[in-house]
Amino acid sequence: MDALTVPNGKKGIGGSILRNEDERLLSGRSTFIADISQPGMWEIAFLRSPVAHANILSVTKPEGFEQRVFLLSDLGDIRPIQADSQAKGFRRSDYPALANDRVRFVGEPIAICLGRTRAEAEDLAQAVFVEFEELPAVSDLSQCRDPAYPPIHPGWNDNLFLETHIDVGDVDAARAKAAVSLTRQYRMNRQAIVSLEGRGVMSYIDERTGELVVYSSTQFPHVIRTALAHCLNMQERELRVVAPEVGGSFGVKNNLNPEEIAIAALTKKIRKPIRWVEDRREHLIAAPHAREHRYEVTVHADKDGLILGLEASIDVDAGAYSVWPWTSPMESGMAIGFLPGTYTISNYRATARTCASNKSPMGPYRGVGRPGACFAIERTIEELAVHLGLDPVEVRLRNYVRPDQFPWKSAGGKTYDNGNYAESAIAARDLIKPERLTELRQRYADSDYLIGLGYATYLEQTAHGTAEWVQRGLPVVFGYEQAALQMTPDGMLIIDVPIQNHGQGLETTLAQVANEELGIDPAQVVVRHGDTSMAPYGMGTFASRSMVMSGGAVGCASALLADKLRKIGAHLLQVQDSDVRLEDGFVVANASGGAKISLKEIAVAAFLRPERLPDDVDPGLSVVASYRTSRDTGAWSYGTHAAIVAVDRGTGMVHILDYVIAHDCGTIVNPMIVDGQMMGGLAQGIGTALYEEMPYSAEGQPLASTFMDYLVPGASEMPHTTIEHLCSPSPITRYGIKGMGEGGAIPPPASLCNAVNDAIRSLGASINETPMTPDRVLRALLDAQAGSATA
Amino acid sequence: MLGFELSEPATLDEAFDLLADGDPGVRPMGGGTALMLMMKAQIFKPERLVSLRNVGGCFDGLRIDADRSHIRIGGMTTFAEIECSPMVLQHLPAVVRTMKTLANIRVRHVASVGGNLAHADPHLDLPPVWMTHAASIRIVSKTGERVIPVEDLFAGYYETTLEGGELIAEVIVPVRPEWTSTYVKVTTRSAHDWPALGIAVSANLQGRRVNDLRLVLSAALDRPTRLVAAENELRGSDLDEAALKRAGEAAVAEVDIHSDSRGSAAYKQHLLRVHLSRAMHSLVGV
Ligand SMILES: Cc1cc2nc3c(=O)[nH]c(=O)nc-3n(C[C@H](O)[C@H](O)[C@H](O)COP(=O)(O)OP(=O)(O)OC[C@H]3O[C@@H](n4cnc5c(N)ncnc54)[C@H](O)[C@@H]3O)c2cc1C
């Protein structure tokens, strides 16, 4: 990556400071679930279903070990996961903590086995005998409404969770007027969600507080506490949920897991500490999966490439159960809502189907729904440009929502806050330098390499508030965040937040926000998170929300605290409240050469020497504040990616020669961290585009259960990348911040697929499926050859 | 996982005794890198592992014969020792190049040449390289010893012709100054992936003319296999596009490639044509 951002001396918002949390992480000293134990703790292995779809006729526990194997019936009166969408026509699927009478995907937990070591527990799991009556497995989207496959949930008549429709404007008129109507089909295949650390839970009873303590590698401890209380019939106060250091999650730890319920219920029952540390095989097959979208898109346009209307049919395979709290239609709902993208499309007709299958349930993964939607629309735009013989950037420029059109109400039902999409496309074009293509093509003319260039523009709705979640019909509405600030008597600041930091650098960026309001050195700020006993209630980290939401809450709380600090400081300096400011750890009198007093001295007064306080100021320096955005439809980041690739026509291998990103996430709190997030997202986007796939056999067996078969990109697959930051501050958030954690992962499938198609087009070939494995690319080339031979 | 015994005999005779009882749960151990993976996956449940790390003798180290005709590599020699040996670099440069993309530095510091061969996983990189160099192995047992060409070791997928109690003592590689060799690890997805195909080629060339050659295909078949028909197409002919095309077709026709997660059979056949030709070109330096 080009080093665009180096430490710039700023410590507050906009400063590229090093991360507060890195020391413990880089030295390997921090503690993840696998590092945390309790005296007398038992290790758990789950007995998981080896078959995709079957009735369980009987389960026999190994003789002599009956007390160490637990089935659903042993866990007492607990509720299944019920992730019910409010959408009309939604069909529900109860997801039990342990499968009882039926299993619906390979990897579904059936029993908990306890051992002194994990190995012992695994041996025990192998000795449990389960009698299955196998049923036909739904393993492909095409089988969703095929009567040959019985419904996988009771009371259903086919395997459809939900079908939704959008019909705005007048698509028929658009079609009639159009100079060109193009139809294309796209597939984005199923993926696993690979975090370095798998999921894991450790729980025990704290007799002193009377709490069932659940350590879970999760993104949202407070929400898990609410959910567990519901499923276990407990008061929230009887539960404490702690997310310790979380080794990556990307959405896969953003669900209520059946394992969490089962483990908590078992601890409650046997009152012994127990721990489950997911292994890689479990993670790949039994943790929630992502993507698996199919599209048929028709675009209607005039002869200059102006889009007049859009039609789409979208199918998503959501797997066996609806995950809580997102619900199974989340993916298809995002896909249908985001398909119009950055374009002024006002005639839009689409259908989105959420299908059930005997596969691991579909959950959120960095980008959620949008990588698929972006793939479909950005491929289509590029196809339209090619068809009309126009430059793909020019066609985009003709169709982008213009800066004067915001707030823009999209045909997908979203409200975009602001931006300058054209600026990002032009910046990306300037960085990638399309004029290089001629020279590159000449250079490789005598080789097997075909050179291509592709673009993709994306939108990333972030920090969406109440309106968005209500519109989506979710059981929980994530509209706000809280933060609790307390200064210590020695003048340091402790910030307790209910969001989670699992790699995003939030311990640093929230400290930078505090610096902005309080002038306190970020090194003097400690951000604590992930513990329901420490922070006030809040929603956790996901959907690129924490910088905006938690940053907003920390900002609000800091501003309140700043008032008090200024008041005390002014009193101690014997000047008017209005005559002081906070700067570099001091309250400073505005008068030239003004006196100053340190935050530490103020803290001493506030806590230890209250006699020094003004009469109208109470002792103590702590504040809880809550924050929500001024409009709750989300802050919209966006950007344009461009890639140059070389396709080896001999092998179908795709090499990325150059990659550029021009993006806008509003006000940037820490440019270095934003670069890191972009690169991480890009790596995962490249995984989707070229490598990662979770195929299933016709029997519903997952075919990639180790890293030998499931391929994630490594350092050697990362291209040279240049990032340019644009900045349109959001009009609806404190400081104008927009979230940006997912954006990097959204457009790479589209940009790379466009580039590959640009490369192979001269041979009459095309590819519209991810991952673009060499096998698929080569097949596209050979098919084209065969086609032209017979033509 | 159930318990097992790990013994580290100090002599070869002791090792033979510990291995004697013919139980499938009793096995010799080189670096243990392959065994550990099989044990973790519970494909192999050992009763006793007999480590060869202390048996010494010809199992250790690298040497060249006095007449400089053969290099002998002990069965317990690690990949890292080979990779760093100036002698191997001088006489068998293709072996050193192969190491650069073989596993990782940690594995290369413990994995042994003997264990690598005896594992008989068709995806491994070194066996085809030994074969293309016309190497043999010396096998020892309590009752005697025998020397066989490397290709005669492999009986199938993870299967060898080793009899119970036999150990691979050394690999014997002829020094062939007139030959050049190369190995292509064809990963179809990313650099660190298992190969879909391994192609090891070695030839005695005079300009573009092929006096003699050895072609070996691995990974796509149940064992590394010489491509005899393809060799025959090229032996004695000039390396031109027509000859390479014929050789590619002959290669595809003489072996039975199956589909797997690294590619369909048709795709791998295509790769065989393409990479065989590219590998031969690389020998001439074109
Ligand atoms: C992370 C990782 C990455 C890898 N990547 C690659 C790669 O890129 N390319 C590649 O080619 N390989 C790769 N491998 C495989 C590696 O090459 C083998 O695991 C290794 O060569 C086996 O050697 P070992 O000495 O550890 O064998 P061991 O595990 O000790 O033994 C393997 C088998 O050989 C038997 N055995 C051992 N020594 C002898 C002997 N002297 N005589 C008879 N039988 C014996 C054992 O009983 C066992 O059956 C990788 C392995 C790992 C763990």
Range of the domain at B32: 5-51
**pLDDT surpassing 70 at residue A776:** yes
**Could you report the per-residue pLDDT of A391-437, keeping only the tens digit for each?**
999 999 999 999 999 999 999 999 999 999 999 999 999 999 999 99
**pLDDT surpassing 60 at residue A161:** yes
Task: Clarify whether residues B62 and B169 are in a common domain.
Answer: yes
Boundary (domain end) residue, out of B174, B208, B232: B174
Q: What is the mean pLDDT of residues A334-362?
A: 98
> Which chain A residues touch B if contact means CB-CB below 8 Å?
119, 122-123, 650-653, 690-691, 695, 703-704, 708-709, 711, 713-714, 716-717, 773-775, 778-779, 782
Q: What is the dihedral of CA A148, A152, A158, A160, to 10 degrees?
A: -130
- Distance of residue B222 Cα from the nearest chain A Cα, in angstroms: 18
**pLDDT surpassing 80 at residue A1:** no
Residue from the list B190, B261, B278 with its beta carbon closest to the beta carbon of A713:
B190
For residue B32, the one-letter residue type is: G
Class of A370-462+634-790 in CATH: alpha beta
The reply to whether residue A711 touches residue B271, judged by beta carbons under 8 angstroms, is no
The two three-digit tokens of residue B255, written as one number = 């072996």
**Could you report the per-residue pLDDT of A588-623, keeping only the tens digit for each?**
999 888 899 999 999 999 999 999 999 999 999 999
- Distance of residue A714 Cα from the nearest chain B Cα, in angstroms: 8
The rounded distance, in Å, linking the Cα atoms of B217 and B222 is 10
- From chain A, the residues in CB contact with B278 under 8 A are 650
Centre of ligand 1 to C-alpha B128, Å, is 15
The rounded distance, in Å, linking the Cα atoms of A172 and B8 is 80
Centre of ligand 1 to C-alpha B27, Å, is 13
**pLDDT surpassing 80 at residue B15:** yes
Task: Clarify whether residues B168 and B183 are in a common domain.
Answer: no
CATH number for the domain running over A33-135+199-246+253-286: 3.90.1170.50
At residue A392, the 3 state secondary structure works out as helix
Residue from the list A703, A704, A778 with its beta carbon closest to the beta carbon of B270:
A778
Task: Clarify whether residues B110 and B170 are in a common domain.
Answer: yes
**Could you report the per-residue pLDDT of A749-768, keeping only the tens digit for each?**
999 999 999 999 999 999 99
Class of A22-29+480-627 in CATH: alpha beta
B142 and chain A: CB distance < 8 Å anywhere?
no
The reply to whether residue A773 touches residue B261, judged by beta carbons under 8 angstroms, is no
For residues A603 and A464, is the Cβ–Cβ distance under 8 A?
Answer: no
Boundary (domain end) residue, out of B174, B194, B219: B174
Confidence of residue A790 (pLDDT cuts 50, 70, 90): low
- Helix H or strand E encompassing A6: none
**Could you report the per-residue pLDDT of A123-134, keeping only the tens digit for each?**
999 999 999 999
- Distance of residue A691 Cα from the nearest chain B Cα, in angstroms: 6
The reply to whether residue A714 touches residue B189, judged by beta carbons under 8 angstroms, is no
Q: Which residues' Cβ are closer than 6 Å to ligand 1? A: B 27-35, 37, 52, 75, 102-103, 107, 111-112, 114-116, 118-119, 124-126, 167-168
Q: Which of B141, B91, B83 is nearest to B110 (CA)?
A: B83
pLDDT > 90: percent of chain A: 94
**Could you report the per-residue pLDDT of A220-262, keeping only the tens digit for each?**
999 999 999 999 999 999 999 999 999 999 999 999 999 999 9
| Ligand 1 atom, smallest distance to B101 CA | 8
The rounded distance, in Å, linking the Cα atoms of A748 and A771 is 11
Confidence of residue A7 (pLDDT cuts 50, 70, 90): low
| Half-sphere exposure of residue A314: CA atoms within 13 angstroms, side-chain side | 38
Residues carrying CATH 3.30.365.10, chain A: 22-29+480-627, 370-462+634-790
Q: Closest chain B residue to A118 measured between Cα atoms?
A: B1
Q: pLDDT averaged over chain A?
A: 96
B267 and chain A: CB distance < 8 Å anywhere?
yes
Q: Closest chain A residue to B45 measured between Cα atoms?
A: A123
Q: Which of A789, A724, A733 is nearest to A763 (CA)?
A: A789
Residue from the list B2, B188, B194 with its beta carbon closest to the beta carbon of A773:
B188
Alpha carbon of residue A481 to chain centroid:
18
Q: Closest chain A residue to B273 measured between Cα atoms?
A: A650
The two three-digit tokens of residue B15, written as one number = 């090792």
Backbone angles phi, psi at B86, to 5 degrees: -60, -30
The reply to whether residue A775 touches residue B186, judged by beta carbons under 8 angstroms, is no
| Ligand 1 atom, smallest distance to B123 CA | 11
The reply to whether residue A651 touches residue B188, judged by beta carbons under 8 angstroms, is yes
pLDDT for the residue numbered A469: 83
Cα-based distances in Å from B174 to A153, A372, B203: 66, 56, 14
B74 secondary structure, DSSP code: E
Ligand 1 pocket: which of B4, B54, B119, B160 to mutate (most atoms within 8 A of CB): B119
**pLDDT surpassing 90 at residue B251:** yes
Look at the alpha carbons of B112, B114, B117, B121 in this order and tell me if their dihedral is positive or negative: negative
Q: Which of A542, A679, A686, A546 is nearest to A252 (CA)?
A: A542
Centre of ligand 1 to C-alpha B175, Å, is 25
Task: Clarify whether residues B187 and B151 are in a common domain.
Answer: no
pLDDT for the residue numbered B78: 98
- Distance of residue B212 Cα from the nearest chain A Cα, in angstroms: 27
pLDDT for the residue numbered B261: 79
B191 and chain A: CB distance < 8 Å anywhere?
yes
- From chain A, the residues in CB contact with B189 under 8 A are 690-691, 711, 773-774
Confidence of residue A5 (pLDDT cuts 50, 70, 90): very low
For residues B186 and B117, is the Cβ–Cβ distance under 8 A?
Answer: no
Task: Clarify whether residues B61 and B89 are in a common domain.
Answer: yes
Q: What is the CATH number of the domain that holds B243?
A: 3.30.390.50
Ligand 1 pocket: which of B7, B16, B29, B82 to mutate (most atoms within 8 A of CB): B29
Task: Clarify whether residues B144 and B170 are in a common domain.
Answer: yes
Boundary (domain end) residue, out of B126, B144, B174: B174
pLDDT for the residue numbered A2: 47
Confidence of residue A733 (pLDDT cuts 50, 70, 90): very high
pLDDT for the residue numbered B205: 96
The two three-digit tokens of residue A738, written as one number = 């927009």
Query: Which of A609-613, A695-699, A715-719 is predicted with the least confidence, judged by mean pLDDT?
Result: A715-719
- From chain A, the residues in CB contact with B263 under 8 A are 773-775
Residue from the list B261, B267, B275 with its beta carbon closest to the beta carbon of A709:
B261
The reply to whether residue A775 touches residue B188, judged by beta carbons under 8 angstroms, is yes
- From chain A, the residues in CB contact with B1 under 8 A are 119, 122-123
Cis ω before B9 (30° cut-off from 0): no
**B62 DSSP β-pair partners:** B73
Q: What is the CATH number of the domain that holds B169?
A: 3.30.465.10
Query: Looking up tokens 């209500």, which residue turns up?
Result: A470
Q: Which residue has the higher pLDDT, A7 or B259?
A: B259
The reply to whether residue B267 touches residue A775, judged by beta carbons under 8 angstroms, is yes
Task: Clarify whether residues B96 and B150 are in a common domain.
Answer: yes
The reply to whether residue A774 touches residue B263, judged by beta carbons under 8 angstroms, is yes
The rounded distance, in Å, linking the Cα atoms of B116 and B127 is 8
Confidence of residue A509 (pLDDT cuts 50, 70, 90): very high
CB neighbours of A714 closer than 8 A, spacing ≥ 6? B190, B191, B192
Q: Which of A572, A774, A126 is nearest to B188 (CA)?
A: A774
Centre of ligand 1 to C-alpha B54, Å, is 18
Residue from the list B1, B2, B189 with its beta carbon closest to the beta carbon of A711:
B189
Confidence of residue B262 (pLDDT cuts 50, 70, 90): confident
Cα-based distances in Å from A379 to A158, A185, A637: 32, 10, 20
B199 and chain A: CB distance < 8 Å anywhere?
no
For residue A592, the one-letter residue type is: S
- From chain B, the residues in CB contact with A122 under 8 A are 1
**Could you report the per-residue pLDDT of B179-231, keeping only the tens digit for each?**
999 999 998 777 778 899 999 999 999 999 999 999 999 999 999 999 999 99
The two three-digit tokens of residue A26, written as one number = 């880089």
Q: pLDDT averaged over chain B?
A: 94
- Distance of residue B188 Cα from the nearest chain A Cα, in angstroms: 6
The rounded distance, in Å, linking the Cα atoms of B38 and A283 is 19
Q: Closest chain A residue to B1 measured between Cα atoms?
A: A119
- Helix H or strand E encompassing A619: none
| Ligand 1 atom, smallest distance to B162 CA | 43
Task: Clarify whether residues B166 and B74 are in a common domain.
Answer: yes
ipTM above 0.85, yes or no: no
Centre of ligand 1 to C-alpha A332, Å, is 46
The reply to whether residue B186 touches residue A695, judged by beta carbons under 8 angstroms, is no
Centre of ligand 1 to C-alpha B194, Å, is 14
pLDDT for the residue numbered A3: 41
Atom 43 of ligand 1 has which residue's CA nearest to it? B167
Residue from the list A122, A650, A704 with its beta carbon closest to the beta carbon of B274:
A650
- Distance of residue A55 Cα from the nearest chain B Cα, in angstroms: 27
The reply to whether residue B191 touches residue A716, judged by beta carbons under 8 angstroms, is yes
